[in-house]
Amino acid sequence: MKKPWSGRFKKPTDILMEKFSASISFDRRLYAYDIAGSIAHCQMLGKCKIITQTDSKKIIGGLKRILKEFESGKFECDDRLEDIHMNIENRLTELIGSVAGKLHTARSRNDQVSLDIRLYLRDEGEEVVQLIKILAKTLLVLARKHTNTIIPGFTHMQQAQPILLAHHLLAYIEMLLRDQERMKDALKRINIMPLGSAALAGTGFPIDRKYTAKLLNFSEASHNSIDAVSDRDFAIEFCSTIAILMMHLSRFCEEIVLWCSSEFDWLELSDSYTTGSSIMPQKKNPDAAELIRGKSGRVYGNLVSLLTLMKSLPLAYNKDLQEDKEPIFDTVDTSKMSLSIFNGMIKSARFKKIPLNRLDISGFLTATDMADYLAEKGVPFRMAHEITGKTVAYCIESGKNLQNITLKELKNISAYFEKDVFEHIKLENSVQKKSVYGGTAKKQVEAQIARIDKKLRNKPKLSHSK
Ligand code: ARG
């Protein structure tokens, strides 16, 4: 098989080398973007009279046929043609003859491959934004259901203060909204058109880069040809955005696993998102949550792969860059799958009804409220903290807790305690008191639900419209 670059070569490529340098097994998935890029480039060449309209039409006709061949599964890729770009060009020559060779005027695979990845990530980025939105909406529905459900909030995995389950869920929505913003921002830098940079120096042909950018719905053309062919910042940004997103999902998954344990027993996942054990018949394992948690690790790995790939790469294009594809593709696949599975898992999950006294296992969830109560009476907070600490210590020694200690016992510790303290340390009252903006009081939580709801209803501004 004749390689498009074979002119200066006398010996054939070593068979193993051929396999080694081929990327077609994975970059095949870029075919539609490669063809779309080639069609736009060809249209531009025709418009600028660099090739004739007749040739331009012929080439575009051939490219469209190739697209159909891919879509009907008829296109056969060949390892010996290295990558998606040369496979398509070779087929184009088979279909329309030597005029196919005009397509590569004023173009190199270096700007071509950058274009393909940008087009690909632009679509995938928009999809990720939508999937995040779907998940945030699911969580919002769940939060709405639980504006009266009190759970212990934790610090150091120790019971800390009572909070609304809705508030806890909204914390994850906040993370997701930031992930969405980050992706939208990354999309701005993905949406830059590199064609015309050619190998690295640009081209002498009188091409119209702005026209190509317009045809492909890019916001602008890249400004430096050397940077354009060697830059993969946009892919690193994409993967780092996804790595942060996966970290959020993983944290949530960790909690879901905990909540499903018989020790917690707060949550039941649907049969559809759990699996059994091959030996222990009673098991219902939260595999979906564990797998998403696990997959966050491989996404971090992909990000580190890309960063390591780019470290020390001299300008401009180097074949190392071919190694960018698998981590990028895997990051896209893993995150989209994880978002969809997470959504299904949480949508079909059921929070159990947990009696308040079962939640307050420590019996001291509202110790801070007791200290606040004393502080409100004028006791300096540090002293109020000390008195409450002593009260907790007394309770532990005498097998009591804040729910069943008597006023007499309290007064023995401090004269500042009055009967009204018991109202202050009720779980419900504790929650309702946290009425600061962003706090867990129901009113505040409802205000946040309304704000997020409005945000999620806004029609997204796409970085490119088709
Ligand atoms: N398959 C190559 C890649 O993914 C395309 C660019 C090849 N360019 C070159 N000068 N060999 O990076």
CATH number at residue 406: 1.10.40.30
Is there a single domain that holds both residue 287 and residue 406?
no
Relative to beta strand 192-193, strand 220-221 is parallel
What's the whole-model pTM score? 0.95
Calculate mean pLDDT across residues 128-155.
97
Where residue 109 falls among pLDDT bands split at 50, 70, 90? very high
> Domain check: are 350 and 369 in the same one?
no
Q: Which residues line ligand 1 (CB under 6 A)?
A: 23, 27, 83, 109-110, 113, 317, 319, 321-322
The tally of domains found in the chain comes to 3
- 294: pLDDT confidence band, cut at 50, 70 and 90? very high
Picking from 354, 377, 395, the residue at the C-terminal end of a domain is 354
Q: Which of 354, 374, 395 is the last residue of a domain?
A: 354
Residue 463 scores a pLDDT above 80: no
pLDDT of residue 460: 62
CA of 222 to the centre of ligand 1 (A): 19
Q: Dihedral angle at the C-alpha atoms of 129, 135, 136, 140, nearest 10 degrees?
A: 160
- In terms of domains, do 96 and 120 share one? no
Local confidence band at 355 (pLDDT 50, 70, 90 cut-offs): confident
CA-proximal residue: ligand 1, atom 11 (nearest)? 319
With respect to residue 457, please indicate whether it lies within any of the assigned structural domains.
no
Average pLDDT, the chain: 96
- Ligand 1 midpoint to CA 56 (Å): 24
Contact by Cβ (8 Å): 368, 425 = no
Average pLDDT, integer, range 140-152: 96
The residue whose CA is least distant from atom 7 of ligand 1 is: 109
| Helix/strand/coil for 454 | helix
Q: Whose CA is nearest to atom 4 of ligand 1?
A: 322
Say if residue 461's pLDDT is above 80: no
**Ligand 1 atom at shortest distance from the alpha carbon of 199:** 10
What are 32-85's pLDDT values in tens digits?
Answer: 999 999 999 999 999 999 999 999 999 999 999 999 999 999 999 998 999 999
Between the CA of 182 and the centroid of ligand 1 the distance, in Å, is: 29
Could you identify the atom of ligand 1 that is nearest to the CA of residue 84?
A: 1
Same-domain check for residues 275 and 409: no
Residue 337: what pLDDT? 98
- Residue with the smallest CA separation from ligand 1 atom 3 is 322
Would you state the pLDDT for residue 238? 98
Residues 252 and 134 in one domain: yes
In terms of domains, do 192 and 46 share one?
A: no
| Assigned domain for 205 exists | no
Dist. CA 108 → ligand 1 center (Å): 9
Q: What is the pLDDT of residue 246?
A: 98
Rounded to an integer, the average pLDDT of 338-365 is: 90
Same domain, 115 and 70: no
Q: Report how far ligand 1's centroid is from the alpha carbon of 219 (Å).
A: 25
Which of 13, 18, 27, 113 gets mutated to test ligand 1 (max ligand atoms within 8 A of its CB)?
113
84 vs 27: CA distance, rounded Å: 6
- Residue 348 to residue 256: CA distance in whole angstroms: 13
Tell me how far apart the alpha carbons of residues 330 and 295 are, in angstroms, rounded to a whole number: 10
Residue 449 lies in a domain: no
CA dist 42 and 58 (Å) reads: 10
Candidate from 108, 197, 322 with most ligand 1 atoms within 8 A of CB, to mutate: 322
| Domain ranges, residue 79 | 6-105
Are 370 and 250 found together in one domain?
no
CA distances from 346 to 91, 331, 334 (A): 47, 22, 18
DSSP symbols for 164-175: EHHHHHHHHHHH
Residue from 109, 320, 326, 328 to probe ligand 1 pocket by mutation (most atoms less than 8 Å from CB): 109
Q: Report the alpha-carbon distance of residue 292 to residue 252 in Å, rounded.
A: 10
Q: What is the pLDDT of residue 435?
A: 98
Q: Are residues 361 and 432 in the same domain?
A: yes
As annotated, the active-site residues are 156, 277
Give yes or no for residue 353 having a pLDDT over 60: yes
Average pLDDT, integer, range 445-458: 96
The pLDDT value recorded for residue 444 is 98
Distance CA 124, CA 304 (A): 20
- Amino acid (one-letter) located at 137: K
Mean pLDDT of 366-381: 96
The pLDDT > 90 percentage for the chain reads 92
Predicted confidence at residue 354, as pLDDT, reads 80
Interval 385-415: pLDDT, tens: 999 999 999 999 999 999 899 999 999 999 9
pLDDT category at 459 given cuts 50, 70, 90 is: confident
Distance of CA 310 from the midpoint of ligand 1 (Å): 15
Percent of the chain with pLDDT over 70: 98
Q: Cα 200 vs. chain centroid, distance in angstroms? A: 32
